[in-house]
Amino acid sequence: MHMYRQLKRSKVWYARFRASDGKWVSRSTGMIAKDKATQVAVQFERDARLAVVDGELAAAAVTRNAADMHKRVTGKELEFVSTRTYMQQFLEAKGTKSTEATVRSYDKTVRYFLAHLGPKAAASIQKVKPQDVQTYIAKRMGEGSRPGTVKLDIRVLFAVFNRAMREGVCTLNPVATVDIPLAQSEIKKPFTLDEVEAILKACPSDEWKSLCLLAFYTGARMGDICDLTWENIDLEAADPFISYTQRKLRKAEHSFVKLPLHPDLRTWLLGYRGTAAVNPKASVLPSMSKALPGGRCGLSQAFIGIMTKAGVDPCYTKRGKNKVPGKSFHSFRHTMVTNLESRQIAENVRMRMVGHANANVHRIYSHDDWGAITSAINGLPSLSA
């Protein structure tokens, strides 16, 4: 075994040693101090020798060696906590600095993963292996979860175990080596103009109609529309507009969206708001602002019911045990893009209008950009419903 550094790339020491198959391998020790790096390198060699033994005994020995190395390098005992306990602590910490939607998303992944582990969730977090994560992924895909949803699960689990490693709770991240689903999620189909008008007529209330009109004329996601307050909409300006920060991309520089209001949308919102003074902080959709967009009892499912009442086919396809609609509320977003494409609106303008992320697109509107966007919005079709 010998130690070396690649100073042009990093200040940490690397160890070169023989693996269990006799081949030479190089691995970063993660240490800048050579004495601590040497201790880590010795541990690598020990683990490599143990790897020739199969079974739980070898895994336990590697874990004990890792714990011993951790104490010698850091001076602290390696904590052994259960996966359930650590994940619950992780969620509690997340709840103090994340949005409610983010916490719900993390909580859902954690609950599903703990259920998948079964009794093993009560055992040491050290016992979670890549195979546990891989079978979890296979199960989620087999149940019909979208590849994008499963990839989000993987990111959440990776974050949990990465933090556990940093805190010295576990020595390996079992998510780091799993195979990520390659399949792409199905692309939603856009609505036709006739379908949009039928949906508007089937809306059970003005609040629902406002939600659908805002989606049709802005292409915004359901969650972002439900978050709107009257402060986000200026109906009296010379050039009326709507502006909001996308919930999904709230930390990105391209998260802010500002759009002129289509004349028909402005007319509807003026009537919907009424002539009485409105608190700028008040929600545009009061009852929907408190509801959850997803879930079997959420707004998305309720919208499917409105579609069915309107005679609009959700175009279900089978995925695992579930039926997945090819048309849903998100189809309004695709409808917006389709309408803009049909009017030959430039791609960079389209992306700014619907808030799609693209690192190459500058997010500050120039005068020409705003003129192009206003022209594009005014060119969208009027609705008779």
Q: 152-166: per-residue pLDDT in tens? A: 899 999 999 988 888
Query: Options 1.10.150.20, 1.10.540.10, 1.10.150.130, 3.40.50.2300; which CATH number does 83-166 get?
Result: 1.10.150.130
The answer on pLDDT for 371 being more than 80 is no
The answer on pLDDT for 66 being more than 70 is no
Q: And the tokens for 131?
A: 């195979």
pLDDT tens per residue across span 209-220? 999 999 999 989
Sheet containing strand 256-260, strands side by side:
233-234, 241-245, 256-260
pLDDT cut 90: percent of the chain above it: 32
CATH 1.10.443.10 for domain 193-378: yes
The answer on pLDDT for 134 being more than 60 is yes
Determine the pLDDT at residue 230: 95
| Structural contact between residues 158 and 175, judged by C-beta atoms closer than 8 angstroms | yes
Mean pLDDT of the chain: 80
365 pLDDT tier (thresholds 50, 70, 90): very low
Determine the pLDDT at residue 307: 95
Mean pLDDT of 16-31: 74
The answer on pLDDT for 327 being more than 60 is yes
Determine the pLDDT at residue 206: 95
Mention every residue, 6+ apart, whose C-beta is less than 8 A from residue 271: none
252 pLDDT tier (thresholds 50, 70, 90): low
C-alpha distances (whole Å) from 190 to each of 180, 217, 299, 341 are 29, 14, 19, 12
The answer on pLDDT for 103 being more than 60 is yes
The answer on pLDDT for 349 being more than 70 is no
| Structural contact between residues 307 and 199, judged by C-beta atoms closer than 8 angstroms | yes
Determine the pLDDT at residue 86: 92
